[in-house]
Structure 1
Amino acid sequence: MRFSLLFSFVIVVGLCSYKFSEAREPVCSKFAYEEQLLEKMIRTEIKVETMVNEFKKTEDNVISTLGDIKQTVADFTDMFADMRGNITDEMLKRGDEIKRREESFKTSFEETRKNLTSDIEAEKEKLFQLQGKLEQPPIAFYAHHLKDMLLDTTNEVLIFEKTFTNEGTGYDTSTGLFTAPVGGLYQFDVHTCARYSKYAHLGLVMEGSVIAADANYGDDSSGCNNFGAIVRVKLGEKVWVKSTSSGSTRELIQNTYRMNTFSGMLVNN
């Protein structure tokens, strides 16, 4: 279109020149407006073409920029995909590690629970035993005042007729025998006084066996001696004091200043 307009303009100019040379006067005045309009159209077309070229450059730049952005997005997408893959792998590894630790913790916890349960049961048993001991009344006796002080019969049981203490009622004042109401470790003590110039041969007996013995003589004055034993006694077993030798020279004494006593207590069961 640009070339057609330009060609028309050249023709018009040529005609005008021809007429001018032939008539020697301006004969193109009637085309002045058209010439000016054509010139404006040409200038406008040139501007438009320049603008089109600029727009084309801008379009190319935009397309190039869009291409760069698209490539950047693609690169970022690939990078993100790689990162996501790495993150996924790391998460899987962490998940496996957490699961392994969880299983280890469960196993350790179960073993600890079993051990604690066993320990608790053992401690409960000890507590029950201790509670039984605490609920059990104390076992102890302290007897005095002999019924007969003549030791004229061998193996005669010494009967202490009175008691200051008889916890658990193990001592019998009518027989002189102590019967263990509870099995355990006991301590027994015997205190006797031989009359002046007399002897006292005595023994502490458990179930017929002498477990402690004493030989006392009243020398310048009546003499007193102590003897005893610590021994484990089973439930129902009996303990007593007896004479181990008899005769007219065997005799004990008791008065305001001298006491004959037989005592015992449960130390531990």
Structure 2
Amino acid sequence: MIRTEIKVETMVNEIKKTEDNIISTLGYIKQTVADFTDMFADMRGNITDEMLKRVEEIKGREESFKTLFEETRKNLTSGNEAEKEKLIQLQGKLEQPPIAFYAHHLKDLLPDTKNEILIFEKTFTNEGTGYDTSTGIFTAPVGGLYQFVIHTCAWQNKYAFLGLVLEGNVIAADANYGDASHGCNTFGALVRVKSGEKVWVKSTSSSSNRPLVQDRYRMNTFSGILVNN
């Protein structure tokens, strides 16, 4: 009987010990699961924050790239448009016929009236048809920088007073004196002329004693050329 009680008591103690071990083990497992859950939550939070940070950085870089690309595109477009315009202007200049005239043979050798226009009634050259042989007036077909040259010959021992006129204003003048064997002189101007403006040569003296001379040795001429527009 006593042995039976001792055996039962021993079994109870073993069961109690086993229960304690089980409870302890369950507690350890529970704590381990809790720790793992917390660790996983922390890891997930960290990974999420890092990923979000990277995503924001990528978005920022993408926006910067888009802005840079757009600015570059605009610059290239505006630059191409400017170059295109230059090419169009250059093409227009290349396609534009040359402007030049070279007129000779005075209609009147005695310009005795002040402001009388000298009419050179023949031309060797009249590119652009700007010079009118019936009026002695050159009308600029296009605006630009022009070079004009006047060559006249005064009668012996006589003076010729002449002027180059742009739109009514004298821009160059000459007092040519013919010595014992007549005398020739040249004058002119480099001037900017607008499209449609007129240029001519006139007498600046009203005296009737201002004859010019032309023969096979002497030629009175009026010429002009578009240098640059």
- Out of 186, 190, 193, the residue aligned to residue 233 of structure 1 is 193
2:222 paired with 1:245 = no
State the 1:88 CA deviation: 7.0
Deviation at 1:212, TM superposition (A): 0.9
1:110 has 2:61 as partner = no
Q: Give the superposition deviation at 1:223.
A: 1.6
Match of 1:208 among 144, 147, 168: 168
| Match of residue 139 from structure 1 | 99
Aligned residue runs from structure 1 range 44-193, under 5 A: 93-193=53-153
Residue 258 of structure 1 is matched in structure 2 by 218
State the distance in 2 between where 1:256 and 1:123 align: 53
The separation in 2 between residues aligned to 1:213 and 1:197, in whole angstroms, is 19
Deviations 1:82-115 (A, max 9, x none): 9998777655544433332221111011112112
Separation (CA, whole Å) in 1 of partners of 2:40 and 2:146? 86
Return the alpha-carbon distance in structure 2 between the equivalents of residues 196 and 91 of structure 1. 104
Report the Cα distance in structure 1 between the residues aligned to 2:158 and 2:206, rounded to whole angstroms: 11
Q: Are residues 80 and 254 of structure 1, via their aligned partners in 2, closer, same or farther at CA, if it must alter by over 3 Å?
A: farther
Deviation at 1:249, TM superposition (A): 2.6
Q: What are the residue-to-residue correspondences of 1:18-37 with 2, within 5 Å?
A: none
CA-CA distance at 1:188 after TM superposition: 1.1
TM-score, normalising length: structure 2: 0.74
Give CA-to-partner distance per residue, 1:214-240, whole Å, 9 cap, x none: 001012432221111122222222111
Structure 1: gaps of 5 or more residues: 1-78
Give the letter aligned to residue 221 of structure 1: S
CA–CA separation in structure 2 for the residues paired with 1:244 and 1:173:
21
SS of residue in 1 equivalent to 2:94: helix
Give aligned-pair identity as a percent.
Answer: 83
Which amino acid in the other structure matches residue 96 of structure 1?
E
CA contact (8 A) 2:113 2:208 kept: no
Unaligned runs of at least 5 residues, structure 2? 1-38
8 Å contact 2:99–2:226 — kept in the other structure?
yes
Task: Write the distance in 1 (CA, Å) between the matches of 2:228 and 2:44.
Answer: 74
CA distance in 2, matches of 1:87, 1:196: 110
| SS at structure 2 position matched to 1:251 | coil
CA distance 1:221–1:87, change in 2 (3 Å): farther
C-alpha distance in 2 between matches for 1:98 and 1:164 = 75
Please state which structure has a larger fraction of its residues in helix. 1
Alpha-carbon distance in structure 2 between the residues aligned to 1:128 and 1:241: 36
The structure with the largest alpha-carbon Rg is 1
Q: Give the number of the structure whose residues are more often strand, by fraction.
A: 2
Distance in 2, matches of 1:151 and 1:199, equals 12
**Conservation of the 8 A alpha-carbon contact between 2:101 and 2:130:** yes
The one-letter code of the counterpart of 2:100 is: A
How many Å separate the matches in 1 of 2:101 and 2:42? Answer: 92
- Indicate the RMSD between aligned Cα atoms, in angstroms: 2.7
Q: Deviations over 1:51-77 (max 9, x none)?
A: xxxxxxxxxxxxxxxxxxxxxxxxxxx
Q: How many residues align?
A: 195
Q: 1:104-137 CA deviation, whole Å, 9 max, x = no partner?
A: 1110111121122222222222222222222221
TM-superposed deviation, 1:158: 0.8
Worse-superposed segment, 101-110 or 84-93: 84-93
